[in-house]
Amino acid sequence: MQKAAVLSPIKTKRRPIQISWQKVLPFVIPSLIIIIWQVSSNLGWLSSSVLPSPWAVLQDGITLTLSGELPKNLSISLYRATVGLLIGGSIGFILGFINGLSRKCRLLFDSSIQMFRNIPHLALIPLIIIWLGIGESAKISLVAIGTMFPVYINTFHGIRSVDKEFIEMGQSYELSRTQMFRKIIFPAALPQILVGIRYALGVMWTTLIVAETISASSGIGYMANNAEDFVDMETVILCIVVYAVLGKISDLVAKGFESLLLDWQTTGRSKVQ
Amino acid sequence: MTDQTNVMINIQNIHKQYAQLTALNQVNLTVEQGEFLALVGMSGGGKSTLLRLIAGLEQPTSGSIKINQVPTNDSDSLVRVMFQEDRLLPWMTVLENLSFKSKKSAERQRALNLLELVELKDYADHYPNQLSGGQKQRVALARALMTAPKILLLDEPLGALDALTRRKMQDLILNICEKQKLTTILVTHDVDEAARMADRIVVMKQATNFYETIGPKDRRNPGQVGLVADRVLSAILDEAPVRQFQTA
Ligand SMILES: Nc1ncnc2c1ncn2[C@@H]1O[C@H](COP(=O)(O)OP(=O)(O)OP(=O)(O)O)[C@@H](O)[C@H]1O
Ligand SMILES: [Mg+2]
């Protein structure tokens, strides 16, 4: 401690530089790629029919935004994604919850669910199109099926692996069943449940993109597929960039939830001193 | 001890089997109302198991345990356990860990008072992972005292404390037990602690062997405390057949 006090004037001078570096570092590689990409296009090393320049993609993005086409497709995709996730996530959570808590339900449902889980849900696309056509319900169902399993498995395991010592403690303090769930089981399982939700977010986008590419008349996946038919390279690249951004945003939202709900995990001893 | 009406805990012919392992065999023990009993013995000797059985958290393979004349499973609310591991809920602050059964403000106030007693009032809003091992133990001790029990089971409550805090907490426990007329069983590895605190000391060895000794008549007399501690230690070490001997 004493030593640190002596060294502190130097440290306080260095700190701001270190922090700004830490903030800049993650952007270095993406920026370099974009610069090299732009320069190669400008110098004619990259033909625009193979890969249009970032600038052209940006211009295309602006045009499509102003015409309203991008916002419209984006919002319909977001709608499908959220509704699908809400339905699938809720079913997965409820099943994981009851199977985790009740031995009877576990025996009844778990092996069937595990069997179902091993079918790649994208393999259901032809079946779902035959059953539900290419309307909204087809896409939403696919997303729901895809996101249900990661949420189910993680909720189930989260609840099953709650520390037995905590449960015994709750029993010895005579907690009621609801108290036991609210105060001990749910908070103990929450980190694992959130892992499931984060994983489900990834599945959500992949499923939606594939579904929209194969059969849709709107959405980002449709936009990409349509652009492909017209060899509109700028829009194809734009859609890929939009996916990347959407994926990143959902990851950030999930992380935000985690640090909000699990602040007890991150409150390290170092913060106190 | 023959007076049945004064018996708080009555353990008869307890046997506890975990698969191949016999944790307790033919254990008989009675604890009187208001008595402070210390349980010492080697690691793995079945002390924690015995406490869990008394608390009704597990059932014995055979034999009977009566608390206040009633078989254990429906007398839970009389008993509080302070477990060997602190078992604090990591997602709750220290204060919430004490008052997690109800949100009433009286409960909160009681929790704060107890935190003051264990000298942790400033830590009410900390999470358990921000505390040291000894601080966690003291929170667990405070939690065990939250609901006024009749019987207090303490499983090595002071293991992680320095000598000074340990001495203070011993006095605190003795004080509370005396004031609330609690029947107490204290598991400890420290024979001096046992001799200093207990009215009676039971040495448990390898599931079967049981030795008892009476505690010092005067807790404040270091000579007597030392004498009792020595006898307990020799009982642990020698398997000396010293059943129930009195201090001079
Ligand atoms: N749930 C369990 N399942 C199987 N064996 C167990 C279980 N609980 C305890 N045991 C075994 O019973 C024996 C007694 O354990 P117990 O925890 O009661 O010992 P202890 O006297 O409290 O020891 P320590 O002083 O180290 O805490 C040990 O050999 C232990 O391995
Ligand atoms: Mg033990």
Q: Which residue has the tokens 């990591």?
A: B90
Q: What is the pLDDT of residue B187?
A: 94
Q: Which ligand is nearest to the CA of B46?
A: 1
CA–CA distance, A153 with B67 (Å, rounded to integer): 43
Tell me the per-residue pLDDT of A59-109, one tens digit each, with 9 for 90 and over: 999 999 999 999 999 999 999 999 999 999 999 999 999 999 998 998 998
Which carries the bigger pLDDT value, residue B209 or residue B88? B88
CATH of B4-244, one of 3.40.50.460, 3.40.50.300, 3.40.50.720, 3.40.228.10: 3.40.50.300
CA of B44 to the centre of ligand 2 (A): 7
Residue A185 is classified by DSSP as I
Residues in chain B closer than 8 A to A187 (CB atoms): 89, 91
Nearest chain A residue to B144, by CA: A173
- Name the residue ranges covered by the structural domains of chain B: 4-244
Tell me the per-residue pLDDT of B106-152, one tens digit each, with 9 for 90 and over: 889 999 999 998 889 999 999 999 998 889 999 999 999 887 788 99
Residue B63 is classified by DSSP as E
The C-alpha of A174 sits at a distance from chain B's nearest C-alpha, in angstroms, of: 7
CA–CA distance, A38 with A54 (Å, rounded to integer): 6
- Sorted by sequence, the CB contacts under 8 Å of residue B13 that are 6+ apart come out as B26, B27, B28, B62, B63, B64
Q: In what order do the strands lie in the sheet with B151-155?
A: B79-82, B151-155, B183-187, B36-41, B200-205, B209-214
Residue B18 is classified by DSSP as E
Q: How many CB atoms lie within 10 A of CB B13?
A: 12
Residues in chain A closer than 8 A to B87 (CB atoms): 165-166, 168-169
Pocket flag, ligand 1, residue B47 (CB < 6 Å): yes
Q: Which of B20, B25, B47, B191 to mutate to test the pocket of ligand 1 (most atoms within 8 A of CB)?
A: B47
Q: Which ligand is nearest to the CA of B27?
A: 1
Tell me the per-residue pLDDT of A109-150, one tens digit each, with 9 for 90 and over: 888 888 888 888 888 888 888 888 878 888 999 999 999 999
Mean pLDDT, all residues of chain B: 83
Q: What is the pLDDT of residue A1?
A: 39
Name the burial class of residue A273, with classes exposed (0-12), middle (13-18) and buried (19+) by CB atoms within 10 angstroms of its CB: exposed
8 A C-beta contact, residue A231 and residue A220: no
Tell me the per-residue pLDDT of A178-194, one tens digit each, with 9 for 90 and over: 999 999 999 999 999 99
Q: Which domains does chain A have, with CATH numbers?
A: 55-264 (1.10.3720.10)
The C-alpha of A57 sits at a distance from chain B's nearest C-alpha, in angstroms, of: 47
Q: What is the pLDDT of residue A184?
A: 95
Are the Cβ atoms of B91 and A188 closer than 8 angstroms? yes
CA–CA distance, A205 with A104 (Å, rounded to integer): 35
Pocket flag, ligand 1, residue B57 (CB < 6 Å): no
CA–CA distance, A155 with B90 (Å, rounded to integer): 19
Pocket flag, ligand 1, residue B12 (CB < 6 Å): no
- At B184, the pLDDT band (50, 70, 90 cuts) reads very high
Q: What is the pLDDT of residue A215?
A: 77
pTM: 0.80
Which carries the bigger pLDDT value, residue B246 or residue B83? B83
Name beta bridge partners: B24. B16
Q: In what order do the strands lie in the sheet with B70-71?
A: B21-32, B7-18, B62-67, B70-71
| pLDDT, average across residues B1-16 | 78
- Sorted by sequence, the CB contacts under 8 Å of residue B94 that are 6+ apart come out as B88, B115, B120, B123, B124, B125, B126, B127, B128, B131, B139
Tell me the per-residue pLDDT of A217-240, one tens digit each, with 9 for 90 and over: 889 988 988 888 888 888 999 999
Q: What is the pLDDT of residue B1?
A: 46
Q: What is the pLDDT of residue B100?
A: 86
Number of H helices, E strands in chain A: 13, 0
Collect contacts of A178-187 with beta carbons under 8 A, ≥24 apart: A179/B101, A181/A101, A183/B89, A183/B92, A183/B100, A184/B89, A185/A101, A185/A159, A187/B89, A187/B91
- Sorted by sequence, the CB contacts under 8 Å of residue B43 that are 6+ apart come out as B189
Q: Whose CA is nearest to atom 27 of ligand 1?
A: B43
User: What six digits make up the tokens of A153?
Assistant: 């498995």
Mapping DSSP to helix (H, G, I), strand (E, B) and coil, where does residue A84 land? helix
Pocket flag, ligand 1, residue B43 (CB < 6 Å): yes
- At A17, the pLDDT band (50, 70, 90 cuts) reads low
Q: For residue B215, is pLDDT > 70?
A: no
Q: Which residue has the tokens 């170092």?
A: A270
Q: For residue B237, is pLDDT > 80?
A: no
